[in-house]
Every structure is written in C-alpha cells, then in structure tokens.
C-alpha cells in the first residue's frame, strides 16, 4: 500500500518482519474504516484482551495507514533494548499512580494536537472478565479527546484471546484464528462543555465502553450476562498456565 503517514524507521523494520508472519498465522476481519477521520490527529480507544492484541491491533492500524503510537506502561521503557525501541517508535510512557502521570497525559495531548493518531487501551489493563468482555474505563482517552477537540473512535477486538487468553501462557496458534477489529463512529463529547467534572468525564468514559462493548457484541453475536467490572476495584493480576 502507498502510505500517506510515514512510519518511524524502527516501525518500518518491525512491520517488515512481523506483518508477513501475522498474514500467515491469522485471518482478518477488519471493519469500520469509513468511521476513521481522514485528516488531523485523533484518539482510537480499544478493548484489551490478550498479550497478543497489541500486535494484532497494530496490524490493523498499519493496514489503515496509521503509524502505531500507543500509551505504554512505563516499566517497559526500562527494559534494555525494548525501551530503546519504544522510544525510537515514539511510543508514550504512562506513569500511572505517580507524580509524573499528568506528564503522560500532556504528551498525548500535544501529540494529537500535532496531528498524531494515539491508540489507547482505556481499561488500562487486560480484561479480567471471565468471558472476555470489556471492563470500565479510566478517564485518559476521554480527557485527551476533550482537551484537543479531536475525534474519539471506539474499536472492539475479538480473536486474539483464542491465541492467548488473558493472563495465561498457553499459545494456540493453529488452526488459524480470525482477528476481528471493528471501528465504530466517533463518540459525541459535545455535552462535556469547557470544564467537565470528574463525574461527567466518567459518564463519557462509560459511554465509550458501552460503544466498544456493543461492537464486540455484534462481532460475537451475544451480549454480556454480568455487570461490567470496575477497573478501580482490581487487585494485581496473576499470570498462570491454563488448567488442564
């Protein structure tokens, strides 16, 4: 494809190496490209359900001429080699729960204002829902979109969990799984006004997760049967092997 948004050199190498692999080991169901803005910066918010979905989501982004630029948990930037690659790829560290947390938000806002497309997992972590449904959202995605006036596009993923279920270490590559990534219409945030309260931001974040959940329900052909998990109530996850 002819790219109108250039990839950083390190991402060109990653795409060159990994995209052919994912073309072989997965099938793809990409939908909703008509909902993506054609110019300017904006925010894409997707559910997070597998260790593998940053790669499949990145594949979708690349196939839609979008340089993958994520908000990434800051410990990864301290890992030798990986940290250097993340910086070279212009990823943005997230310093959650520290005094530098606001700096992450400012960096993302500045990037969108400069015309970048920022991909964010609004839950902030992989889902803990037993059936893989999205959880509640933290406020970052809505804050960035509101501060910049940029569109906020909800995206639902389904399929990566068939390769690696959340917090498990069992790979199931074959037979080939279909990676579903569907984009919905940008969220309407006009009701927030100029100076929204925390309650208004949370309500807008709930609407975002409603939109993502609805997209995933369409993909799956079913609906959630239990209340949405509140990410603020979660303890530290335990990664484990799947029980036989």
- For residue range 17-26, list pLDDT tens digits in order: 999 999 999 9
As a residue count, the chain comes to 244
Q: What dihedral angle (degrees, nearest 10) is formed by the CA atoms of 89, 23, 63, 59?
A: -40
The hierarchical CATH code for the domain 31-233 is 3.40.1130.10
Indicate if the pLDDT at residue 184 is higher than 70. yes
Tokens of 124: 């902030």
132 conformational bin, left if phi > 0, alpha if psi -120 to 50, beta if neither: left
The residue extents of the domains of the chain are 31-233
A 10 A CB-CB count for 94 gives: 27
Kindly indicate the confidence band of residue 4, based on its pLDDT and cuts at 50, 70 and 90.
Answer: confident
Q: Please give the average per-residue pLDDT across 173-201, as a whole number.
A: 96
Cα–Cα distance measured from residue 73 to residue 213, given in angstroms and rounded to the nearest whole number = 24
Cα–Cα distance measured from residue 236 to residue 165, given in angstroms and rounded to the nearest whole number = 17
Indicate if the pLDDT at residue 243 is higher than 50. no
């Amino acid at each position: 494809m002819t790219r109108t948004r250039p990839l950083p050199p390190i991402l060109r190498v990653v795409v060159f190496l990994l995209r052919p692999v994912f073309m072989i080991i997965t099938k793809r169901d990409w939908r909703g490209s008509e909902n993506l803005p054609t110019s300017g910066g904006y925010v894409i918010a997707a559910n997070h359900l597998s260790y593998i979905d940053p790669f499949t989501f990145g594949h979708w982004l690349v196939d839609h001429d979008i340089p993958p630029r994520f908000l990434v948990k800051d410990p990864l930037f301290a890992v030798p080699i990986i940290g250097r690659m993340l910086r070279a790829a212009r990823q943005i560290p997230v310093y959650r729960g520290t005094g530098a947390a606001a700096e992450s938000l400012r960096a993302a806002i500045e990037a969108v204002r400069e015309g970048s497309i920022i991909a964010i997992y609004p839950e902030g972590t992989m889902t803990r829902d037993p059936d893989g449904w999205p959880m509640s959202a933290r406020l970052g995605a809505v804050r960035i979109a509101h501060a910049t006036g940029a569109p906020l596009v909800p995206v639902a993923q389904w399929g990566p969990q068939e390769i690696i279920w959340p917090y498990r270490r069992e790979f199931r590559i074959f037979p080939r799984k279909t990676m579903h990534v569907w984009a919905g219409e940008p969220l309407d945030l006009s009701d927030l006004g100029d100076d929204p309260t925390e309650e208004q931001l949370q309500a807008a974040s709930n609407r975002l997760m409603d939109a993502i959940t609805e997209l995933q329900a369409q993909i799956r052909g079913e609906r959630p049967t239990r209340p949405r998990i509140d990410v603020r109530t979660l303890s530290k996850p335990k990664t484990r092997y799947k029980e036989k």
